């Protein structure tokens, strides 16, 4: 039965709009994390990034009035070590992804010995601005056993940002002092801190990207963050592809053009059906889901903005590209631009090519209106370092909803 649509007055519409929160975005990169928070009615009072190419990308979007970047303040291009927090005391949020190369699985694993470790600056921001909440993101490598003590050190500093290291005090000695402080019966946390390792694919991003999020609320807020429930799964994709064939039918993929059926898939599907699995979860989004409406960049060059074929892709052991019908492997930046197989598409016939900028942006869930500035390798580095915008939005909603309660 047709129902008369509800029409709200202007005053009622304003009343239904979530209250805008104010933030400082540090280590902004190309703006993936900041985009996610903007989608949740967060107004950035400062956007700080030191890389000139990433800053030019943000400026480029602002110049062309791309929403929501058109409403951001001018990007502050400087080392965050020099950023002053005067006038930002008590801001609603501080967010950012401290440079992750020191902890990356594919990096040099320098960790706390690496001068690129910017967690000390993230903690300084919390200490000096005293935000109501903060969100920091980093790579899965930070959770490795080799960094266990330093991981604990980060958590304790975020919990007690005012208990700073003494002059010439080594981080290990500072950690010991923090642990003893926390064990005192009279100690009260300054921030209630939670962390969660998540797979972006489990939240609808067409990419298997593992990231750890640190979320803290100032103690007087009396709030504790919980990660949002996962919405997508690999088993649901398996059922869609090899159970109902809905996936192949939707994409109009003939049987002869499909990849080989995984060994033992019938047995697994039978077990999933018996347990009525997946009734409340969606299928992982695949590379095909993300880019199926884009023309072949080799055959139809120049048809879509930033969708240009880049020659030179090749496979080698451990770098074989991302299969078309799975979420992509995690896009990476590398020391010198594109590192190889992580940023390649592997077609069903085994042939490979590099993802275009627009395809990579789709995989990182940037909107198609988003513009990138720089050479292909510089843009791919920006995308490889970015937080998927959709994942950022999911995390942002969970945090902002708590702040608004």
pTM above 0.75, yes or no: yes
pLDDT by residue (tens digit) across 219-256? Answer: 999 999 999 999 999 999 999 999 999 999 999 999 99
Q: What is the pLDDT of residue 274?
A: 75
Write down the domain spans for the chain.
17-230+388-404, 233-366
Q: What is the pLDDT of residue 108?
A: 42
Distance CA 300, CA 294 (A): 10
Beta sheet of 191-199, edge-to-edge order:
76-77, 42-49, 21-26, 93-96, 133-139, 210-218, 191-199
Q: What is the pLDDT of residue 397?
A: 98
Using 70 as the pLDDT threshold, list the residues of the chain that sit under it.
1-16, 100-116, 276-279, 334-341
Q: What is the pLDDT of residue 371?
A: 95
Q: What is the pLDDT of residue 275?
A: 76
Given the candidates 3.90.550.10, 1.10.3720.10, 3.30.70.980, 3.40.50.150, the CATH classification of the domain at 17-230+388-404 is 3.40.50.150
Rg (CA), the chain: 23
Q: What is the pLDDT of residue 279?
A: 64
Which H, E and C letters describe 241-310, residue by residue? HHHCCHHHHHHCCCHHHCCCCCCCHHHHHHHHHHCCCCCCCEECCCHHHHHCCCCCCCCCCCCCCCCCCC
Q: What is the pLDDT of residue 271?
A: 87
Q: What is the pLDDT of residue 287?
A: 98
CB–CB of 189/222 below 8 Å? no
Q: What is the pLDDT of residue 111?
A: 42
């Amino acid at each position: 039965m047709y129902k008369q649509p509800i029409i709200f007055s202007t005053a009622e519409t304003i009343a239904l709009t979530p209250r805008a929160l104010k933030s400082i975005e540090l280590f902004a990169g190309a703006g993936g994390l900041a985009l996610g928070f903007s989608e949740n009615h967060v107004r950035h009072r400062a956007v700080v990034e030191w890389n000139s190419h990433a800053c030019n990308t943000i400026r480029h979007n602002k110049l062309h009035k791309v929403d929501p970047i058109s409403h951001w303040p001018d990007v502050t291009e400087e080392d965050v070590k020099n950023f002053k927090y005067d006038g930002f005391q008590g801001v609603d949020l501080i967010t950012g992804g401290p440079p992750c190369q020191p902890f990356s699985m594919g990096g040099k694993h320098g960790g706390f010995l690496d001068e690129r470790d910017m967690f000390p600056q993230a903690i300084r921001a919390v200490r000096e601005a005293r935000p109501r909440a903060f969100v920091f993101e980093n790579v899965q490598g930070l959770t490795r056993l080799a960094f266990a003590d330093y991981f604990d050190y980060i958590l304790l500093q975020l919990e007690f940002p005012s208990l700073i290291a003494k002059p010439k005090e080594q981080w290990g000695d500072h950690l010991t002092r923090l642990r003893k402080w926390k064990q005192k019966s009279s100690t009260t946390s300054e921030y209630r801190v939670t962390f969660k390792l998540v797979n972006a694919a489990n939240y609808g991003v067409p990419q298997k990207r593992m990231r750890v999020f640190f979320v803290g609320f100032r103690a007087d807020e009396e709030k504790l963050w919980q990660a949002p429930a996962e919405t997508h799964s690999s088993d649901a994709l398996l059922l869609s592809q090899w159970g109902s064939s809905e996936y192949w039918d939707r994409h109009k993929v003939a049987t002869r053009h499909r990849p080989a059926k995984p060994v033992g898939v019938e047995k697994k599907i039978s077990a999933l059906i018996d347990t009525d699995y997946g009734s409340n979860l969606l299928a992982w989004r695949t590379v095909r889901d993300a880019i199926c409406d884009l023309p072949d960049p080799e055959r139809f060059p120049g048809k879509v903005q930033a969708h240009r074929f880049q020659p030179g892709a090749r496979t080698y052991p451990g770098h074989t590209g991302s299969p078309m019908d799975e979420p992509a492997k995690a896009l990476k930046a590398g020391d010198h631009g594109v590192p190889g197989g992580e940023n390649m598409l592997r077609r069903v016939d085994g042939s490979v090519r590099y993802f275009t900028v627009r395809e990579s942006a789709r995989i990182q869930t940037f909107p198609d209106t988003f513009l990138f500035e720089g050479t292909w390798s510089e843009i791919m580095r920006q995308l490889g370092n970015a937080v998927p915008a959709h994942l950022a939005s999911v995390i942002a909603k969970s945090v902002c909803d708590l702040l608004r309660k």
